[in-house]
């Protein structure tokens, strides 16, 4: 377990108080998120797209269609996973903020093509998106595997920022005590499972979905 932020660009300069250098926090943020935002440079311009991911140890896996240019030409990438925890209502507009947990990873991706390694990565990706589905649903065919591009990214160069707690108002604003200040928390909730209309038999919602 090594600390984060070993390079210049992954060293947080803005809001240093919010920088976190514990690798376990990075892992927890990545495990709690559902999609990442993958940024690449395409034709000299930035491109950012939401995409699924999964983590195994200190490797992040990404996947998509072999036809997607953003994945096909990806080399140097930047990946962000952001969890929103609340809106911070401060006494001043200037000090309004959000509570969040954020991970930003820099690095070069490698294509995962060896069949066993690719299957393992897809298992990691599936179990991240839908825990329990790898053993429940039909596994990929060779044709489906061939149509999927899988990329691996080492979690070596990462920056983690966490903001939590209440408003950080100016002393004068706190003393004036003119208005309410506080935090409005945000949570992500799972709703009731909606069965597919084209189910034929009498299928109960499986435990791994019901208990999520």
CA dist 160 and 162 (Å) reads 7
User: Would you say 20 or 78 has its CB closer to a second copy?
Assistant: 78
Q: In the bound complex, what is the minimum distance in angstroms from residue 165's beta carbon to a second copy?
A: 9
- If you ran DSSP here, which 8-state letter would residue 166 be given? S
Q: In the bound complex, what is the minimum distance in angstroms from residue 161's beta carbon to a second copy?
A: 9
Q: In the bound complex, what is the minimum distance in angstroms from residue 13's beta carbon to a second copy?
A: 7
Q: In the bound complex, what is the minimum distance in angstroms from residue 3's beta carbon to a second copy?
A: 21
**Six-digit token string for 80:** 């962000």
Strand (E) or helix (H) holding 124: helix 115-129
Angle at 20 between CA 18 and CA 22, to 5 degrees: 165
User: Would you say 111 or 129 has its CB closer to a second copy?
Assistant: 129
Of 176, 154, 118, 178, the residue nearest 26 (C-alpha): 154
Distance of CA 11 to the CA centre of its chain: 19
User: Would you say 152 or 157 has its CB closer to a second copy?
Assistant: 157
- Sheet arrangement for strand 97-108: 19-20, 157-163, 97-108, 76-89, 35-42, 45-56, 59-65, 148-154, 110-111
Q: In the bound complex, what is the minimum distance in angstroms from residue 1's beta carbon to a second copy?
A: 25
User: Would you say 59 or 132 has its CB closer to a second copy?
Assistant: 132
User: Would you say 111 or 210 has its CB closer to a second copy?
Assistant: 210
């Amino acid at each position: 377990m090594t600390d984060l932020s070993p390079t210049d660009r992954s060293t947080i300069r803005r809001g240093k108080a919010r920088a976190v250098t514990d690798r376990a926090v990075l892992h927890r943020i990545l495990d709690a998120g559902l999609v990442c935002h993958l940024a690449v440079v395409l034709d000299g311009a930035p491109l950012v797209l939401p995409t699924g991911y999964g983590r195994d140890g200190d490797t992040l896996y990404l996947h998509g269609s072999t036809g997607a240019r953003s994945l096909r030409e990806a080399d140097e990438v930047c990946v962000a996973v952001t969890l929103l925890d609340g809106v911070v209502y401060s006494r001043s507009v200037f000090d309004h903020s959000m509570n969040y947990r954020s991970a930003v990873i820099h690095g070069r991706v490698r294509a995962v093509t060896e069949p066993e390694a690719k299957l393992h990565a897809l298992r990691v990706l599936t179990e991240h998106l839908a825990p329990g589905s790898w053993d429940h649903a039909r596994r990929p065919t060779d044709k489906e595997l061939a149509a999927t591009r899988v990329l691996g990214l080492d979690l070596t160069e990462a920056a983690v920022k966490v903001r939590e707690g209440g408003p950080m108002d100016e002393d004068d604003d706190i003393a004036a005590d003119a208005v309410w200040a506080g935090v409005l928390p945000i949570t992500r909730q799972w709703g009731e499972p909606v069965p597919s209309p084209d189910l034929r038999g009498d299928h109960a919602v499986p435990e791994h979905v019901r208990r999520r």
